[in-house]
Amino acid sequence: MLIAPAYAQTASGTAQDPTGGLMGMLPLIIMAVVLWFLMIRPQMKRTKEHRAMLGGLQKGDEVVTQGGIAGRISRMGENYLHVEIADGVEIAVQKQAIATLLPKGTLKNL
């Protein structure tokens, strides 16, 4: 014959290893912890900072929208802001669309 017969091996001991199940799940636990610290936690921190920034907006603040439009807040509502992007030109944007709060005096030409 070309292939030798295979025989099942008997267990060397009758008691099972009590850490066998935990060691099998250890890679999954490690991946979950790494995912938490590298992806989920930083995203939660950015969301918290963005909410704080939106809560502190005032009339006259200079902002940049997520679309890249820079302007000065001229009027504020509950959910919408009116942003003056040029002399006499205002657009209405949602508060959540504000990406960045610029330092005062950044937009001197408005």
Residue with the larger pLDDT of the pair 106 and 99? 99
Of 97, 94, 101, give the one whose Cα is nearest residue 77: 94
Q: What is the pLDDT of residues 71-87, one digit of tens each?
A: 999 999 999 999 999 99
Query: What local confidence, expressed as pLDDT, does residue 57 receive?
Result: 93
**Which of 1-15, 38-52, 92-106 shows the lowest mean pLDDT across its residues?**
1-15
**Architecture of the domain delimited by 30-102:** Roll (2.30)
110 class by beta-carbon count within 10 Å (0-12 exposed, 13-18 middle, 19+ buried)? middle
Q: Whole-model pTM? A: 0.68
